[in-house]
Structure 1
Amino acid sequence: MNGSEGTIMVLVATRKGAWFFHSDTARRTWRVEGPQLLGQIVSHAVLDPRDGRTLLAAARTGHLGPTLFRSTDLGRHWSEAVQPPAFARAPQGTAGRTVDHTFWLTPAPAGEPGCWYAGTSPQGLFRSTDGGVHWTPFSCLNDDPQYIRWMGTVQDGTPDGPKLHSIIIDPRDPAHLYIGMSGGGVHESRDAGRSFAPLLNGLEVVEGFDRADPSFHDPHCIRMCPSAPDRLYQQNHCGVYRLDRPGDEWVRIGRNMPAEVGDIGFPLVVHPRDAERAWIFPMDGTDVWPRTSPGGRPAVYGTRDGGASWQRLDRGLPPQQAWWTVKRQSMCADGLDPLGLYFGTTSGELWTSADEGEHWQCIARHLPEILAVETGHPSAAAT
């Protein structure tokens, strides 16, 4: 764990700016800073775990359009990226693609300081090697005709537009990457992005569509287990899945959820030290897709056995009439022991648990719609 182990920082990205919450490792009281970047749609804000002081925020502004902001002093000062993610210019006379917003940010492993990856809407993969100042297209898929067909169009129905997300770098091999595309499926590269291959076996699609066609697959969130990098969990438009490599068959572990709740949702969190443990936040995924807590009774569900069984974790959460949900980037863990869990809601509430989901408390209300929640450990020098 880089940074000061005595402090924890929760970064909350919203539709109207960002807020930062600070505490010690007891996590009993919280100090709030913000708003930062007020009025801007902040899709994702991440503290660099390699130095504990650099922040990147993906934003969409009224006057600047899609861009990224960078701070090297924990948000006291911000500067805009000199070269934000942008697709290559299309040949004259042909239609090109334009970045609507950057959706996902992933820092590279510790051995590549200053290297970041970004996923955009519409689907594109970009990289920076200078700490987020300059971004360039990364890999073949941005301009590959087959991949562009699988990506679909802006009119395909994904809320806030189609997007590339869940950029995962294998900590054992930086040339080994996974990505998710909504829509477009799950894809893997073993050659540093020079090529990608679909990883779809076992995944279901909406009834009536061809599951062999990646364009009909809609992964919501993919996570690699830090303690066992050969295990992946996935929250999908069609359930919750687990994959154990070197196999290539996803298993729908969400079938073990209570039938009245189902296994449809957006976020997924894995335990950093125990690959058997994971948490999800189900939503109402019935035919009309209300995208609210089932029955207005929100709850986190956790597994201790790799998805063979699930436990409802709702102590402290509203018992009824709470019609919000949690977006795919809006649930995370802090790495401490016991593990702290956090989620932000579409109604602007930030909930925390300092005991791995057994008890919950709300530490912020009336924020704008929360789009992403991340944690980090600021360095002592930065604070």
Structure 2
Amino acid sequence: MAEFSQGVEHEQSDGVRMSQIPIGLFIRGLLAMLLAVGLIGGLHAYLGVRLVSAPHLGAPWTTLGWGALGLLFVSIPLGFVASRRKPTLLNQVLYWTSMLWLGAFGLLLTATLVADLVGVAWGLFGTAPEPQALARGKALGVVGVVVPALAFAFLTARGRARVERVRVPIAKLGPGLDGVRVVQISDVHIGPTLDRHFLRRVVEQVNALKPDIIAVTGDLVDGSVRTLREEVAPLSGLRAELGVYYVTGNHEYYHGGAAWAAEVARLGLTVLQNEHRVVERAQARLVVAGVTDHEGGRMDPAHACRPDVALASAPSGVPRLLLAHQPRTAFLARGLEVDLQLSGHTHGGQIFPFMFFVKLQQPVIRGLATIAGVRVYTSRGTGYWGPPLRLGPAPEITELTLVAG
């Protein structure tokens, strides 16, 4: 226990040592984890009561049902551990099982809560059936809704991204750049369940649009450079006449933000870390600026998000395009004459009904909006994070055509 009196050493999977974690912070983190496990365990028990015990399935189905719930509950922490170990077949199976169940668990929980509310309303305003029949009816209804929803969500998440076409008027855009096309991808999340084959398909889709500018707005990966170097290699195939630009998202910093910035630069993309470039065509100019993730400075002080630094010395009177992973970065860009900010991060909510909780952290969920006087386009994301599911918001590649306003 002596080492804990000084702090707990944490080392990332790619060997980068991080600062010591104070013992107080370690204990608070441990308590938060135990609280989360207890809460999730209690919700599993709630599902067991409603979907297994209440319908009186009889032997051996009740025992099998509770046993399956217990194993699936255990799969969640096992999958978390497996994702941080060598990607063997066993670890891949554990991770896939945990993520599929995590998504199914969320949908089952939502559907069961709705079914219980309907049952309460039925009892208050009508003649409810016999309790056991009602319990069986609710359980069948929940399963009947959730199973096809899971299949649809899985196929949507793993399928081809939809191309969203948006025209954005830019007041100061010169004739030479009128109609310039910016193709954005965001939140690809190459990692345990999305590999180079998925990324290669995305690259092919993007290049087929023949973009003038390509913007990669963060959360490219979920893993270390050492683990995913070969998986992100197809990124080098992106082609655009006026450049391919990249900014970091929060997930890069969980696995070495500086290392990932260097790796993406090695693949030939222009990494914008609080800096800008000026692109020109037929004597018309456009500033393309980019910032590190909104919370980058919390994980790496050298990567604090600074739109003011990114646009320092940018030519006046020239339209400004800002790449920033999180939509709320627009609050930091207030008054910097940004004509359009491209963001991601939200995934559009990814799985119904959780998009409603996104508004607790971000000012917008998806699409074109004005935040703090800055026009922001927020992508639904091209991949997914966690459960390989998308129920509601489909994956997206965005083609933004900038026109003289």
TM over 0.5: no
Question: When the two structures are superposed, what TM-score results if normalisation uses the length of structure 1?
Answer: 0.27
- The structure with higher relative contact order (CA 8 Å, sep 6+) is 2
Structure showing the higher strand proportion among its residues: 1
Structure showing the higher helix proportion among its residues: 2
Question: When the two structures are superposed, what TM-score results if normalisation uses the length of structure 2?
Answer: 0.26
Could you say which structure has the larger radius of gyration?
A: 2
